[in-house]
Structures are given as C-alpha cells and as structure tokens.
Amino acid sequence: MSDETLFTYPEGWNEMLAALDFLPEGQREGFLKGLVGILLL
Amino acid sequence: MADSQRLYQERVQLYKDAARHRKTNRVVILANIWTWMTYDMGYKLSETLFDSKKMGQVVTKFQEKYQFDFFMDFGGRNPLAISGALGHTDYIINDETANLNINDFSYVEPEDYAEISENYTKFLWTKFLPRKYQKLNEAGAKQKMLNAGAEFGKFVQHSTEIAQTMASDYGVPPAIFLGTPAFWNFFEILFNWLRGIKGLSLDLRQRPEALKSALDGVGVTDFFGMTLKEYRQSSQKGTDPSKGPDVSTYLLGHSILSKKQFEVFYWPYLKELFDYAEEYDKILHIFAESENSRFYDFFKEAPKDHVVIHLELDDMFKAKKEIGDKVCLCGGMPIDLLYNGTVQANIDYAKHLIDELAADGGFIFSQNKMVSYATDCKAENLKAVNDFIREYTI
C-alpha cells in the first residue's frame, strides 16, 4: 500500500496497525487510537 | 511507613473528605499550575514542551519548592514532540513571556458531521490527520506516523515515570489531567481541537441538528475513543482509594452557550457523568473555565457529595450559597492577586477563602485560573500562601 492510500479506512488503518509490529497484536489498536487521540492536542 | 507514603494517603483522604463535605483539619491545595512551572524553574518552554524527560525535572523541582497536595498537570498538557514528528508548527512559543498560543483553526467541515456521527475513528484517520498534519500528504507518511508513535511511546514512558516519582518520593497522587480518566462532552473536543470557536458558533445557528446528531453519535468520550458507556461496563462500584477523583471533565466550550443552548448541547452529556458518579459512587472532578453562574440550575442537579467543581471566574462566595451544599467547590485564589498583590494581601485573602468556604468542608483550595504565563503569578506569593495553608487549622 502506498502513502497516498494510507489514510483510508479500514484498509489504510489496518495497514498502519500491521506496521506497529514492535507491539503485540492485541495492543496495536489501543496504541494507534491513543496516538491519534494525543494528536488532537 | 515512609513519610511520602503517609503524605500520599493523607492527601487522598483530604481530597475525598472535601468532596464528601466532611470537615477536615486543613484544606487540600491543588496546583492549577501549567506552563508557569517551566518559567519558574528557570527552563524554556521550547525545551520542556519537546522533552518530556526535562519536564519531569521541572515538576519534581517545583514540588520541592511549593509542596502542593495535588496537581492538575504533571507537564503533559502540550506534548509537542509527538506533533513535531509530523511537522506540526501551529503553536507559537514565546520563551521570554512563557507564552504558548495557537491560532483558531477548523479541521471539520460542516458536511463532516454525518460521518463523524457514523464512525468517529474513520473521520479522525481519513480527514482530521491529513488536514491538520499537512506533511502526511507527502511521501513517507507511514514512516512519519511511526516516528510520531515512537515519540508517543517516550511520552507515555516519561509521564509514567514522573507520576511514579511524584508518588514514591513526594507523596503526590496522580495528576488530574491525564492521570485521571477524563470524559468529555464531544462539544468540547469540537470546540478545543476540531472545529474551533468560529466554526462551532456558526454551526450552533446554521446546522444545530447536524451538530446535535454528532454529539449523540460520538457520545461522552475520552481522547482515545472510549465512551463513558463502554467505561461503565468495566467499572466497579466505589471510589478508588489510591486517587483523589475517579473521573474528570473539562468545561470551556460552554462559555459560548446561552442557558437555553446549554440545555440542548451540554446538559444531557454532563448529566450522563453525574449519573455515573451517583450510580457507581465515584467522585467527578470538573474544571469549569470562564464564568458559570448562569448554569447553576444544572450544577444543582449534581449528586450530593460526588462532584468537585473548580470554578474559574465565578464569585466563590455566591457559588457557596447557591450550589455549595451539593458540590464541593474548588479554586478561589485570584491569579491577579498572586502577581500584583503583596505577600500579606495574598495570605489574608487565602485565609478569607478558607474561613468562608471550608468551615463545614466542601472546599479545595486552588488558583482560580490556569497559571501559565510569566505575569500570572509571583513565586514569593505562591510559596507564602502554600506555607500558610499547610499550617492553618480550620
């Protein structure tokens, strides 16, 4: 998937989750939601 | 028991007793101190806001000097290293005045409300991020997000370390902002971070149904997409013995609402928090900015002894008479006085606040406004007031 389609949903979202492979699978969604949430600030 | 452990327990108990309108021998002191902390400790905002480890040094040195019981914030309010990794530079930092500003913005267009209502996470991912962080529209977006993720990981680690040090070495319970679960009326998130003052003011008049539908669709939520309804499912009854408040919320967007508008766009969501506090026997801490007296009829609906309200610009003595039997009041110390007044005038006013507001419990002492800029406070006044309160027996 290219950068142009990263910000699509759910495909790009899932791609980003897969890229967080330094985290256990069960923690990735919470981490990404946390990151997006903090980026509101 | 170590002194810090004893202090920790004493502070938690003082907070809970105040919230429950139980008489205490002294008043708990809450630091409503934000970026001023960096200025007072001799650091620059441009250093600490991008370096959460350095912010930790600021917070602990600050506590050694002033010995607060609770903090609103341990320096986590503006974690700019995370947004900086995405090239975001909308914040305007002035190191001389310790000033941090941001221009009005809008990352939500009127036609987005339906999508927000339907799937908030999808909206944030597909619309909000590429609009706010323009560099995500260029090549390398995934790597930039991973870099921001690495900064987020560091921020979480350092924030956890600050909280642990404050507890273990200084006996200070978790900060209220970021250290206590916070649930927001989605109106606030729109006002503060997504739609802005101008856009939201227009929407209230031009598309109230779409706005209301988005508030209902997203619901009362934390920053991370968990709704209060979901949080309730994992809640146990009873207040957490290791913390002051159990949950928190922040009111600022309400300042643009009339009483009639508040009833529609705010009250149902605030009531949801009141109901949660009552049903689960929790303590809710509210920071209500601006002047709030036109909303007292709603605040009177709070479950007795379950809600602390920090009032920013209200007449605290009038508030005590009107809502003080239902809610615990917090705040009161004018930052104008902390900057312009003498040491004695500050101590006299602090004594007056405690004598009038805390005699029968139900009062937490704090600065009325967020102490942020160099001209918000003088160190000698703040220190003298804290030293006085710690020794002043009610």
What pLDDT, in 10s, does the model give residues B308-322? 999 999 999 999 999
Across the interface, whether the CB atoms of A39 and B225 are under 8 A apart is answered: no
pLDDT of residue B223: 85
Kindly list the residues from chain B whose CB atom is less than 8 angstroms away from the CB atom of residue A10: 122
Mean pLDDT, residues B111-125: 96
Minimal Cα distance from B150: which residue of A?
A35
Kindly list the residues from chain A whose CB atom is less than 8 angstroms away from the CB atom of residue B78: 41
Tell me the shortest Cα–Cα distance from A38 to chain B, in angstroms.
7
Angle of CA points B13, B238, B16, to nearest 5°: 20
pLDDT of residue B78: 81
- Statement: residue B91 has pLDDT above 90: no
Longest dimension (CA), chain A: 28
pLDDT of residue B11: 98
Kindly list the residues from chain A whose CB atom is less than 8 angstroms away from the CB atom of residue B194: 40
Share of chain B above pLDDT 70, in %: 99
Reported as half-sphere exposure (CB side, CA atoms, 13 A), residue A14 has a value of: 4
Name the B residues in 222-281 with CB < 8 Å from any A CB.
222-225
* Tens of pLDDT, residues B177-217: 989 999 999 999 999 999 999 999 999 999 999 999 999 99
Name the B residues in 85-124 with CB < 8 Å from any A CB.
86, 119, 121-122, 124
- Statement: residue B76 has pLDDT above 90: no
* Tens of pLDDT, residues B147-170: 999 999 999 999 999 999 999 999
- Statement: residue B127 has pLDDT above 70: yes
By C-alpha distance, which of B85, B94, B78 is closest to B46?
Answer: B94
Mean pLDDT, residues A19-33: 96
Q: Which residues contact B44 (CB under 8 A, 6 or more apart)?
A: B38, B95
Phi, psi of B247 (to 5 degrees): -140, 160
Name the A residues in 1-41 with CB < 8 Å from any B CB.
3, 6-10, 12-13, 15-16, 19-20, 30-41
By C-alpha distance, which of B283, B277, B176, B241 is closest to B10?
Answer: B241
Name the B residues in 145-204 with CB < 8 Å from any A CB.
145-146, 148-149, 152, 155-156, 189, 193-194
pLDDT of residue B96: 83
- Statement: residue A2 has pLDDT above 70: no
pLDDT of residue B89: 67
- Its pTM stands at 0.95
CATH 3.40.50.1980 fits B3-391, yes or no: no
Minimal Cα distance from A1: which residue of B?
B142
- Model confidence at A1, in pLDDT bands (50, 70, 90)? low
pLDDT of residue B52: 81
Domain ranges of chain B: 3-391
Could you give the CA distance from residue B48 to residue A5 in angstroms, rounded to a whole number? Answer: 35
Q: Can you tell me which residue has the tokens 């007072």? A: B40
pLDDT of residue B224: 84
